[in-house]
Amino acid sequence: MIPDAGAAEPLGASVCNGGVNFAVYSRSATKVFVCVFDENDTEIARIALESQKGDVHFGFVDGVGPGTRYGLRAEGPYEPEKGFYFDPDKLLVDPRARRIDRRFVHHELLTARRGEGGDTATLVPKAIVVPGPDGHGNEQPLALKESGLIYEVNVRGFSKLHPDVPTHMRGTVAALGHKSVVDYFLKLGVDALELMPLAAFIDERHLPALGLKNAWGYNPVTFFAPDPALMPGGIDDLKKLTGIYRAHNIPIILDVVYNHSGESDIEGAVLSMKGLDARAYYRHEEHNGGCRLVNDTGCGNTLRCDFEAVQRLVVDSLRYWLEAGGVSGFRFDLAPVLGRGPGGFSPEAELLEAIRNDSALSRVILIAEPWDPGPGGYQLGRFGNRFAEWNDRYRDDVRGFWRGDPHKLGGLATRLAGSEDIFSREGDKPSRGVNFIAAHDGFTLRDLVTYEERHNLANGENNRDGHEHNLSWNNGVEGESEDPAIVRGRKNDVRALLATLFFSRGLLMLGQGDEFWRTQRGNNNAYAQDNEITWVDWDGADMELSGFVGELQRFRRAHRAIFSDRFLTGKPVAGACDVVWLNPEGEEMGEADWHQADASVLGMHLNIEGDEVLVWFNRGRLEIVAQNPSPKPGASWLAGISSALDEVHLTGRQVLLPPRSVLTLEQAQGGEHQKTQANADTQGRIELSVKGGERFLGGHFPPFAGETN
């Protein structure tokens, strides 16, 4: 291995000319070394990168190539109280490593002060030199369909217990490409998969002592290299998966964490960027004559996203997942960090602008989680129209309505209409909002109607962690119950919540397993439960409920009146009002109706381009007789989908709304369903009925593309 001058670009390890060029960014290191390891994990060479251009240390090493295992070491001052952690005994993972040979695991030596511990080489994963992308996976990113159903997936938890997936594939990205899984998503009508983080991560340092492991992956150490447990074949595993779903026109969105790293605070492990140049990679603030790490994330450190070198690291890694992995979009965890500088958050911050304007990234799906614990951390609606945003006000208003909170009709209507009060900038559309009722953070849908309090003792923090404000209800008994009436009531509530979600303007997100009654036993912060609490129980899955969700998606896709990407305003569109809000008497809602504190029923009469749909919402505990508005001459109202487990009766213009239910009706011309129509002008007692999830007129909707009956 003969070192040569090499080149400062590109950063990282690049295969070229019979060797590898190494280029490492560090503004404060006095010297950077590349350490080469053999198959026995023995360091066989330590090569100083003698060349330097600006803040980049670089050199070319002859005689090495793809498959070479290496790490970095850096010399410089060791003054943690001033933001310097240089320690040649700490082997460091290249921040631009494309692959590593094992998972990150905690050890006390990783946190030892300089001179107080031994060498960490045996404890730290080695980076593996890989060739550049081969060009496959460089297809145009897929767009998200207007019907916009995003399914949030934790790769390990979703597949760990899947009975049809071979044992060796369970818990990995490859499991999602198994035919049984693909067929399931096709049957459900999923428009996109959003995969929780895949980048290599480390457990939070307090977890090993508790016998716990991070189950979610929101604690990355590297931004390029995938976690070996999730993607043992490296980036090719993801490339294969995205190719499988591309054949069905289903984009893969990757959840990414560019707000902090797993190196944590001053007491945290030194694994990569902290040992190379913590002052450059992480935000610091003055403290007691020195400085300390800023903790805007609640995770011990904050990535310095207003610094050019970090911005480049983020953009380059995003492009790598796009070009080498074939993903079609990204969801940004704690996204305000990406837009925060010394003056606070700005939607025009340099990093956000770099992502928007990048020639490749400007074409992908971009989703922001628009809040973090830092100053000015709540930024819902401010990321601009290139980003969709998780809409927690949708979540809270819908939960509040179905929980029975007073004065919630207006909030429900606003969310159903697309949340124009939030997304009100020029060019905004309902698709700027990602509507959801449950996600990986918080209760599952089942737990939302089963627990009023969090039950997080298993997390080892005396039930102090997780949200206290859940807007949940338990239907009379805290926790699981064998009482058939309580179970039935809870399932009715979940069906009503799901129907509300699918009949709302905007993008939709469904958390894994919420479509078939998944529980986390009341744990609303299950990040540390890599066990049966987060592993999907396929044997206990309620596939009848899953089938109901598929019917909801079919109904949504069949009606532009529901999924159209225009805000509902109540104003005429092509000669007809796009929405009329109705009271139970079938009359347009008046001021007094909106301000009735205990009102339990709301009708939504949609009319878009001749497609008319009527949706009734009844959160009350009693049946309610509602009056449907008069249909067009020669037409009638026909029941579509009901969330209720009980039958729904439609007699003439009257409909009996079951308790805690959502019901849709479609307007059809007289000849369309001659044998079963209920004409609004009929004076007789023609009764039609529909049970929850069944479409009692015209049979079931046609299958989704790629799905067989």
| Residue 706 pLDDT class (50, 70, 90 cuts) | low
The pLDDT tens digits for 567-577 are 999 988 777 89
Residues 507 and 649 in one domain: no
| CA–CA separation, 656 and 663 (whole Å) | 10
293 pLDDT more than 60: yes
pLDDT score of 133: 67
The pLDDT tens digits for 378-409 are 999 999 989 999 999 999 999 999 999 999 99
Residue 540 DSSP one-character state: T
Nearest-CA neighbor of 506 among 420, 410, 599, 431?
431
Q: What's the whole-number mean pLDDT along residues 481-507?
A: 98
Nearest-CA neighbor of 391 among 444, 353, 431, 337?
431
Residue 77 lies in a domain: yes
Residue 280 lies in a domain: no
708 pLDDT more than 90: no
* CATH number of the domain within which 390 lies: 3.20.20.80
Could you tell me if 274 and 218 are in contact, meaning their C-beta atoms sit under 8 angstroms apart?
A: no
Residues 198 and 157 in one domain: yes
| Residue 169 pLDDT class (50, 70, 90 cuts) | very high
| Residue 17 pLDDT class (50, 70, 90 cuts) | confident
Residues 556 and 573 in one domain: no
Angle at alpha carbon of residue 382, lines to 501 and 439, rounded to 5°: 35
The pLDDT tens digits for 302-339 are 999 999 999 999 999 999 999 999 999 999 999 999 99
Query: Could you give the number of structural domains in the chain?
Result: 3
Residue 284 lies in a domain: no
Beta bridge partners of 69: 37, 128
Residues 542 and 573 in one domain: no
Domain end call among 99, 128, 157: 128
The edge-to-edge listing of strands for the beta sheet with 624-627 is 624-627, 654-657, 648-651, 687-690
Burial 253-285 (b: 16+ CB within 10 A, else e): bbbbbbbbbbbbeeebbbbbbbbbbbbbbbbbe
Residues 590 and 659 in one domain: yes
Residues 637 and 538 in one domain: no
| CA–CA separation, 448 and 197 (whole Å) | 25
* CATH number of the domain within which 644 lies: 2.60.40.1180
| Residue 236 pLDDT class (50, 70, 90 cuts) | very high
| CA–CA separation, 333 and 344 (whole Å) | 18
Could you tell me if 81 and 284 are in contact, meaning their C-beta atoms sit under 8 angstroms apart?
A: no
Residues 448 and 553 in one domain: yes
Write phi, then psi, for 275 (nearest 5 degrees).
-80, -15
Q: What's the whole-number mean pLDDT along residues 597-604?
A: 98
Residues 93 and 220 in one domain: no
Domain end call among 560, 583, 617: 560
User: Taking the model in full, what pTM does it have?
Assistant: 0.94
The pLDDT tens digits for 642-654 are 999 988 888 878 9
Q: Where are the alpha helices (H) located in 407-527, listed in sequence order?
A: 409-416, 445-448, 484-502
Residue with tokens 């998503």: 185
Residues 625 and 649 in one domain: yes
Residue 272 lies in a domain: no
Q: What's the whole-number mean pLDDT along residues 492-518?
A: 99
Q: Which one-letter amino acid corresponds to residue 385?
A: N
Q: Report in angstroms the alpha-carbon separations of 247 from 168, 235, 369, 614.
A: 24, 19, 29, 35
* Of 321-335, 516-530, 663-677, minimum mean pLDDT range: 663-677
| Residue 613 pLDDT class (50, 70, 90 cuts) | very high
Residue 144 lies in a domain: no
491 or 696, higher pLDDT = 491
pLDDT score of 573: 76
Residue 303 lies in a domain: no
Residue with tokens 């089938």: 547
pLDDT score of 652: 78
Write phi, then psi, for 381 (nearest 5 degrees).
90, 0
Residue 238 lies in a domain: yes
Residues 356 and 439 in one domain: yes
* Residue range(s) defining the domain that contains residue 102: 3-128
Domain end call among 128, 161, 185: 128
Element housing 85 (H / E): strand 84-85
Residues 591 and 492 in one domain: no
709 pLDDT more than 70: no
Percent of the chain with pLDDT over 70: 93
* CATH number of the domain within which 102 lies: 2.60.40.10
Q: What's the whole-number mean pLDDT along residues 445-462?
A: 98
Could you tell me if 229 and 199 are in contact, meaning their C-beta atoms sit under 8 angstroms apart?
A: no
| CA–CA separation, 203 and 677 (whole Å) | 60
Burial 447-463 (b: 16+ CB within 10 A, else e): bbbbbbebbbebbeeee
Please identify every residue annotated as catalytic. 333, 369
Angle at alpha carbon of residue 545, lines to 542 and 550, rounded to 5°: 125
Nearest-CA neighbor of 281 among 295, 301, 299, 300?
301
Residue 412 lies in a domain: yes
Residue 698 DSSP one-character state: S
| Residue 679 pLDDT class (50, 70, 90 cuts) | very low
Residues 602 and 506 in one domain: no
Burial 349-375 (b: 16+ CB within 10 A, else e): bbbbebbbebeebeebbbbbbbbbebe
